[in-house]
Chains A and B, each alone.
Chain A
Amino acid sequence: MSEAVDSVSVDEGRGGGPRTMISLQQVSKTYPKAEAPAVRELTMDVPEGDIVMLIGPSGCGKTTTLKMMNRLIEPTGGRIVLDGDDVTDVNADELRRRIGYVIQQVGLFPHLTIAANIAVVPKMLGWDRNRTAKRVDELLHLVGMEPGQYRDRYPRQLSGGQAQRVGVARGLAADPPLMLMDEPFGAIDPITRERLQDEFAGLQQQVRKTICFVTHDLTEAVKLGDKIAVFGPGGTLEQYDTPDEVLTRPANEFVAEFVGSGAAVRRLSLLELARLELDEVVISTGGAPAGNHPVVALDDAGRPERWLSVPGTDQPPPLVTVPLTGTVYDAVDVMLDAGVPLVAVVDGDGESRGALRWQTLIGDLRAKRRRP
């Protein structure tokens, strides 16, 4: 335990003072004939490079807010500032070409090939053929689709998951600094959705876009968001903070109720195993059990094979593993599934990096200080 220990906190910011990519200043929207505004004097700054998840019950104005950012819905009051420019009154079509847009129903153009779908914005911006074609291939690679295989296909030949990958690629095509995503994975089956979320998180590691993302799924918000904006009825912003803060310190009654009773469990998916002080594991050298630590036997490749002894048990439980890249949530899932009180954590090569024990989980879970 040589490393300094701090409390389990997830977001330490990105260092330095990040610039604001898009800023809503006192923005309101009152629909014609509606008595109450759908969004009321909303002020919110989205820092560059962050994913901000807009969440709230239906009718809370989260989608309205998103659509005001690219003026698909015109605000009835307030200013919108994109990257330092006041864009409240500029030409909306030109504004939208500077902002990526991805929607739940994908909305690929069925009469255009995948390549032509992705190339829509570059074409409007007057890119030449070569540059556009190169960009299309690059993006298809980025979203994990082989360009040679998919470039000339049509949208109807794609599965829902593939279509949304292309939708994301289309949104990224002209390399916009800001992406707006309106429940992009909402209509996709749960298994594919989870894969797309993981891919999306990986993609964001590479492209580092500023992203505003509407969702109604708190798990998704916690999983993907750098910040969460919780909207309340009447289009008010109830809390705007990191997922960890929203879950552990709800700003008010409404947020507490919205976050609900599952908050403690949801927080588990925020904790990456790589960032925890794991329990030490002794690798068996054929000798006697070593004090208070579990002892593991390795196979020929140096990977954990079975437990030889686990303190507190007479009969060592079957050995299950979880990758270091997973979260505490994954570890708990594996433990519950196998009915065992501990799980071995392995790295990419399958070698042991420690263990997570049930007692530690409910007792004294410690995070390492984040490495620079």
Chain B
Amino acid sequence: MTFLDYLSQEWVELVILGRISFLIVLYAVLAATAVSVLVGIALYTNRFTPESWSRTARKGSQDTLLVASALALTVPSLALFGLLQKWVGLGATITIAALVIYGIYPILRNVVAGLNAVDPAVLEAAKGVGMGAVRRMIRVQLPLAWPVILSGLRVATLILIAIHVVGGAFGTPGYPDLLVDGLAGYGTPGGLYAVVSAVIGCVVIALVFELVFLLVKRLTTPRGIRV
């Protein structure tokens, strides 16, 4: 059996697995985005420090908190999955939970960077015409920070696609499962083909996400700030 034979025989199955993997990553990215935007806004607006602190100290603490959230990325994935197993069990859930943790930093960093990059003159004008803090955030700051946030989402997605296959060792369906199966039967042609298919599948998912992001960017970036 050649690889092409394998593909023609298994392609329906591969597409189904791909859909599962795609959704796992998608849910994780969405959840990480929600968390990051909320935490990012909080970090940007009050920096989790008292207002009486000096500007430098508050900026410093903002950076420190960002670095702290980066530490999550340095936890070895196997270790993190192992720890999570205690609380969330096996299957798709554990992978989604782990991916959310890994996804937060790249998105959060861009949320804060995007908000910091909003022109202070625009903010002053917004205040000056009588926009309250919430309206300012929703109508002005988030739309202007959005392109930067979106590029954080793209980076996060690529990282998460790469990491999600680790879930195979913890019973996650989709390409993770296919990969682990393939590795178990590595000596056989079928095992090798499964591994290669899983890898190609991940690349395809990444491409699909890129297309989705292209579309989302096109549709959600206000015309006035499109480059």
Measuring CB to CB, which residues of chain A are less than 8 angstroms from any residue of chain B?
32, 70, 72, 92-97, 101, 103, 105-113, 120-121, 124, 154-156, 167, 170, 180
Bound Cα distance A323, B225 (Å): 45
Which one, B52, B128, B144, B224, contacts A96 given CB within 8 A?
Answer: B128
B182 interface contact, C-beta 8 A: no
Q: CB distance B122 to A110 under 8 Å?
A: yes
Inter-chain contact A103/B125, CB cutoff 8 Å: yes
- B86 contacts A by Cβ under 8 Å: no
A-chain residues with CB within 8 Å of residue B129 when the two chains form the complex: 96-97, 101, 120-121, 124, 170
Q: Which residues of B are found within 8 Å of A120, using beta-carbon distances?
A: 129, 131
Q: Is the CB of B119 within 8 A of A107?
A: yes
The residue on A at minimum CB distance from B222 is A111
Residue of A106, A111, A113 near B125 (CB, 8 A) is: A106
Instruction: Show 10 A/B contacts (Cβ-Cβ < 8 Å), sorted by A.
Output: A97-B129, A106-B125, A110-B144, A110-B225, A111-B140, A111-B144, A111-B223, A113-B224, A124-B135, A154-B223
Q: Given A93-B132, A103-B124, 18 more contacts at CB 8 Å?
A: A72-B127, A101-B125, A101-B129, A103-B121, A106-B125, A107-B123, A107-B125, A107-B128, A110-B119, A110-B144, A110-B224, A111-B225, A113-B224, A121-B130, A124-B129, A124-B135, A154-B223, A167-B125
A106 touches B121 (CB 8 A): yes
Q: Is B143 an interface residue (CB 8 A)?
A: yes
Give CA–CA (A353, B123) in the complex, Å. 52
Residues of A within 8 A of B144 (CB): 110-111
Residue from B132, B224, B225 having most chain A Cβ neighbours under 10 A:
B224
User: Is the CB–CB distance between A103 and B130 below 8 Å?
Assistant: no
Evaluate contact between B122 and A107: CB separation under 8 angstroms.
yes
Within the complex, the shortest CB–CB distance from B102 to chain A, in Å, comes to: 31
Q: From A92, which residue of chain B is reached at the shortest CB distance?
A: B130
Closest 8 CB pairs of A and B: A107-B125, A105-B121, A154-B224, A96-B130, A101-B128, A111-B222, A97-B130, A107-B121
Q: How far is the CB of B156 from chain A (nearest CB, A)?
A: 23
Question: Which residues of B line the A interface, CB within 8 A?
Answer: 52, 119, 121-132, 135, 140, 143-144, 222-225
When distances are taken between beta carbons in the complex, the residues of chain A under 8 Å from B123 are 107
- The answer to whether residues A109 and B126 also contact, given A154-B223, A154-B224 and a CB cut-off of 8 A, is yes
Instruction: Kindly identify which residue among B124, B130, B222 contacts A94, using a CB–CB cutoff of 8 Å.
Output: B130
Tell whether, in the assembled complex, residue B128 and residue A103 are in contact, meaning their CB atoms are under 8 Å apart.
yes
A108 to B128, CA, bound (A): 12
Contact of A93 among B131, B140, B223 (CB under 8 A): B131
Asked if A124 meets B131 with Cβ closer than 8 Å, knowing A108-B122, A109-B122, A111-B224, the reply is: yes
Point out the residues of chain A lying under 8 angstroms from B119, CB to CB: 105, 107, 110
* A/B pair count, beta carbons within 8 Å: 75
A109 and B121 in contact, given A93-B132, A96-B130, A121-B130 (Cβ under 8 angstroms): no
Nearest chain B CB to A361's CB is how many angstroms away? 44
Q: A209 → chain B, closest Cβ, in Å?
A: 16
Our pick among A95, A106, A111 for the contact of B130 (Cβ within 8 Å) is A95
Contact A112 B125 (CB under 8 A): no
Query: CB < 8 Å: which of A103, A106, A112 contacts B222?
Result: A112
Residue of A nearest to B125 (CB): A107
**A70→B127 CA distance, assembly (Å):** 10
Provide the bound-state CA to CA distance between A121 and B144, in Å: 19
Q: How far is the CA of A212 from the CA of B126 in the complex (A)?
A: 19
Flag if B128 contacts A70 (CB, 8 Å).
yes
Listed residue (B126, B129, B135) with the most chain A CB atoms within 10 angstroms of its CB: B129
Contact, CB under 8 Å: B125 / A108:
yes
Min CB distance A187 to B, Å, is: 10
In the bound complex, do residue B140 and residue A109 qualify as a contact, i.e. CB atoms below 8 Å apart? yes
Cα of A92 to Cα of B224 in the assembled complex, Å? 29
Contact between A112 and B224, CB atoms less than 8 A apart: yes
Chain B residues with CB below 8 A from A32, complex form: 52
Residues of chain A lying within 8 A (CB to CB) of residue B222: 111-112
Say how far B22's CB is from chain A's closest CB, in angstroms. 31
* Minimum C-beta distance from A85 to chain B (A): 16
**Known contacts A105-B121, A154-B223, A156-B224: A111-B128 contact under CB 8 Å:** no
| A155, B225: Cα distance in complex, Å | 9
CB closest chain-A residue, reference B147: A111
Whole-angstrom CA separation of A101 from B127 in the bound complex: 10
Contacts of A154 in B (CB 8 A): 223-224
Complex: how many Å from CA A167 to CA B131?
16
Complex Cα spacing A120 to B127, Å:
12
**Are A107 and B130 in contact (CB-based, < 8 A)?**
no
Closest Cβ–Cβ distance, residue A186 to chain B (whole Å): 12
Judging by beta carbons under 8 Å apart, are B127 and A96 in contact? yes
Alpha-carbon gap, A304 to B124, bound state (A): 53
A92 to B143, CA, bound (A): 24
- Measured between beta carbons, the chain A residues less than 8 angstroms from B143 are 111
CA distance A105 to B124 in the complex (A): 10
Q: Which residues of A contact B224 (CB under 8 A)?
A: 110-113, 154-156
From A72, A111, A121, A124, residue with most partner B Cβ within 10 Å: A111
In the bound complex, how far is the Cα of B122 from the Cα of A156, in angstroms?
13
For B133, the closest partner residue in chain A by CB is A93
Distance (Å) between the CB of B14 and the closest chain A CB? 42
- In the assembled complex, the CB of B78 is this many whole angstroms from the nearest CB of chain A, namely 43
User: Complex: how many Å from CA A156 to CA B222?
Assistant: 13
User: In the complex, what's the smallest C-beta–C-beta distance from B185 to chain A, in angstroms?
Assistant: 54
Q: Which residues of B contact A96 (CB under 8 A)?
A: 127-130
Chain A residues near B121 (CB-CB < 8 A): 103, 105-107
